[in-house]
């Protein structure tokens, strides 16, 4: 074996050539087992593809489980595809509430359901695994190199799906991408969420009802007081936050208090408040610093919540998210870059592959890259409201320029920073993952690159999997038959 050479003047190592065993060959390889990856694996397997999914954590679910962000901002009646399936199945298992304008659920039950559904479809799951490098043949991706306890290995695939959330595979393969906001590359803040148990919710509810003007955000979807339906969501408490900040009890980044994913029967709530700005989710040092800073913020949040909000005096921390929540990093660039204006105007496309509903309004960025979330001058939380609206996504935003054989799903679509606020929701990521999976399976079975798929066939297949592809696209698909 040749020794590793150290070039001190260049500050690099030169590794000797090595042989890497090929351990699998599949039709569709899904890189990333978050919500979009789970959707992708289901979409591919249900389209008849031999499918494998890779995940670095010990479990699947990403933002829904590893970050424990357990509320989706859309009613189940407007969910489509596998998002609707997940919500209804979780509710049937007693682990979610589908009776309101938003959907709270149990993240542990989400882990179980993801595995149950994937195993039913014959998907091979490989956790504890990092994707190291793409395997390239010119501009075409042929698989990936992985690293885990079994060492360095190779997996080959006809079509690869990047569901990493950060476009890690696409970027490494040479795809075009942008990171963060186009003008300055700033990104939305990172957070570590935690859950509190032992909450006396009746006391909390009585307190909030007595102070509605002072303690609630303007948008009613962020504060719901319907305990008789098992639905409670709390967001605001501005005066408490201002008093605590003035006393040095809260971090400067925290201007309001926010509780979601509330289990009314058991007195459990998820606290979604830590905010770390100016960090890059593709930089290991930044991720570490953000995680540490967010957990330090959470210590102060816990003390303030217990001190100032009646009903929380005896509450305790049940758990915290095992990974820091990253809201934005890279987004690919495809043949079309979808702007916010298309979403707000409800533009339709001949190649539409999904119609998504959500509570949104133009310019309403809940997690601005510049900070000040919930501050007195932040209209998004103080005075503005949103409406339940829909938008369509064209197939062109799912394939990157510069790489063949690759499809993306989740929050790395070819959209602008402003449009990303509309498309980054978990339920949207589940469905865009499913679309990526169906497309990847079709590409594998037809022996073509995903970008060259017959869009009308893709649309018909997606509709057959329960995805709302919009009226214009339905017409186009029918006309092609």
**CATH code, domain carrying 127:** 3.50.50.60
Structure tokens at 53: 């999914």
Per-residue pLDDT reduced to its tens digit, 49-61:
999 999 999 999 9
Q: Which residue has the higher pLDDT, 214 or 153?
A: 153
Radius of gyration of the chain (CA): 22
| 420 vs 399: CA distance, rounded Å | 16
CA torsion 72→74→78→84, rounded to 10°?
Answer: 10
Going by pLDDT thresholds of 50, 70 and 90, the confidence category of residue 280 is very high
Predicted pLDDT at 465: 96
Question: Are 271 and 344 within one domain?
Answer: no
Question: Are 173 and 29 within one domain?
Answer: yes
Per-residue pLDDT reduced to its tens digit, 235-247:
999 999 999 999 9
Question: Are 384 and 444 within one domain?
Answer: yes
Residues contacting residue 92 through CB under 8 Å, at least 6 positions apart? none
Q: How many structural domains are present in the chain?
A: 2
Structure tokens at 122: 């014959």
Going by pLDDT thresholds of 50, 70 and 90, the confidence category of residue 222 is confident
Question: Are 115 and 154 within one domain?
Answer: yes
Give yes or no for residue 10 having a pLDDT over 80.
no
Coil vs helix vs strand at 177: strand
Tell me what the mean pLDDT of segment 283-302 comes to.
98
Give yes or no for residue 15 having a pLDDT over 90.
no
Question: Are 155 and 51 within one domain?
Answer: yes
**448 CB-side CA count, 13 A:** 11
Going by pLDDT thresholds of 50, 70 and 90, the confidence category of residue 22 is very high
Going by pLDDT thresholds of 50, 70 and 90, the confidence category of residue 364 is confident
Residue 9 belongs to some domain of the structure: no
Predicted pLDDT at 480: 53
Q: Tell me the residue range of the domain where 92 lies.
A: 18-186+327-481
Predicted pLDDT at 474: 57
**DSSP structure string for 80-124:** -HHHHHHHHHHHHTTSB--SSSSEEB-HHHHHHHHHHHHHHTT-E
Q: Which residue has the tokens 């031999």?
A: 50
Question: Are 149 and 283 within one domain?
Answer: no
Give yes or no for residue 147 having a pLDDT over 70.
yes
Predicted pLDDT at 24: 98
Tell me what the pLDDT averaged over the chain comes to.
Answer: 94
- What is the pTM for the complete model shown? 0.95
Going by pLDDT thresholds of 50, 70 and 90, the confidence category of residue 4 is low
Domain end marker among 298, 320, 342: 320
Question: Are 383 and 468 within one domain?
Answer: yes
Tell me what the mean pLDDT of segment 297-324 comes to.
98
Cβ atoms 60, 111 nearer than 8 A: yes
Question: Are 53 and 128 within one domain?
Answer: yes
Give yes or no for residue 478 having a pLDDT over 90.
no
Domain end marker among 320, 351, 366: 320
Going by pLDDT thresholds of 50, 70 and 90, the confidence category of residue 437 is very high
Question: Are 314 and 331 within one domain?
Answer: no
- In this predicted structure, which of 13-22, 47-56, 253-262, 306-315 has the lowest mean pLDDT? 13-22
């Amino acid at each position: 074996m040749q020794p590793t050479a150290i070039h001190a003047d260049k500050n690099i190592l030169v590794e000797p050539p090595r042989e890497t065993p090929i351990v699998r060959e599949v039709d569709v390889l899904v890189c990333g087992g978050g919500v979009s990856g789970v959707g992708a694996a289901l979409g591919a397997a249900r389209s008849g593809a031999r499918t494998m999914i890779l995940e670095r954590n010990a479990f699947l679910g990403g933002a829904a489980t590893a970050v424990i962000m357990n509320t989706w901002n859309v009613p189940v009646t407007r969910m489509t595809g596998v998002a609707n399936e997940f919500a209804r199945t979780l509710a049937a298992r007693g682990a979610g509430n589908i009776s309101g304008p938003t959907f709270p659920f149990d993240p542990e039950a989400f882990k179980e359901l993801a595995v149950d559904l994937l195993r039913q479809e014959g998907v091979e799951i490989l956790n504890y695994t990092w994707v190291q490098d793409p395997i390239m043949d010119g501009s075409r991706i042929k698989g990936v190199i992985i690293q885990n306890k079994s060492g360095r290995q190779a997996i080959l695939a006809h079509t690869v799906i990047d569901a990493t959330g950060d476009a890690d595979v696409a970027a490494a393969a040479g795809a075009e991408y942008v990171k963060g906001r186009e003008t300055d590359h700033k990104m939305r803040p990172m957070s570590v969420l935690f859950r509190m148990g032992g909450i006396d919710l009746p006391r909390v509810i009585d307190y909030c009802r007595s102070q509605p003007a002072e303690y609630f955000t303007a948008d009613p979807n962020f504060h719901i007081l319907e305990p008789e339906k098992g639905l409670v969501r709390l967001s605001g408490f501005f005066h408490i936050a201002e008093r605590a900040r003035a006393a040095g009890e809260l971090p400067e980044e925290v201007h309001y208090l926010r509780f979601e994913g509330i289990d009314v029967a058991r007195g459990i709530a998820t606290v979604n408040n830590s905010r770390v700005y100016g960090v890059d989710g593709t930089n290991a040092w930044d991720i570490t610093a953000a995680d540490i800073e967010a957990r330090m913020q959470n210590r102060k949040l816990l003390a303030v919540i217990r001190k100032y909000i009646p009903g929380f005096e005896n509450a305790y921390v049940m758990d915290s998210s095992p990974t820091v929540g990253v809201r934005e990093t890279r987004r690919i660039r495809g043949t079309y870059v979808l702007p916010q204006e298309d979403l707000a105007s409800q533009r339709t496309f001949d190649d539409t592959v999904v119609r998504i509903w959500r509570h949104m309004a133009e310019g309403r960025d809940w997690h601005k890259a510049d900070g000040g979330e919930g501050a007195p001058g932040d209209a998004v939380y103080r005075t503005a409201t949103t409406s339940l609206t829909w938008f369509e996504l064209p197939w062109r935003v799912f394939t990157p320029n510069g790489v063949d054989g690759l499809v993306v799903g989740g929050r790395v679509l070819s959209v602008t920073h402003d449009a990303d606020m509309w498309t980054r929701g978990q339920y949207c990521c589940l469905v865009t993952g499913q679309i990526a999976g169906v497309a990847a399976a079709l590409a594998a079975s037809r022996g073509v690159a995903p970008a060259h798929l017959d869009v009308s066939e893709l649309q018909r297949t997606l509709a057959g999997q329960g995805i709302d592809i919009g009226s214009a696209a339905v017409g186009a698909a029918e006309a092609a038959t």
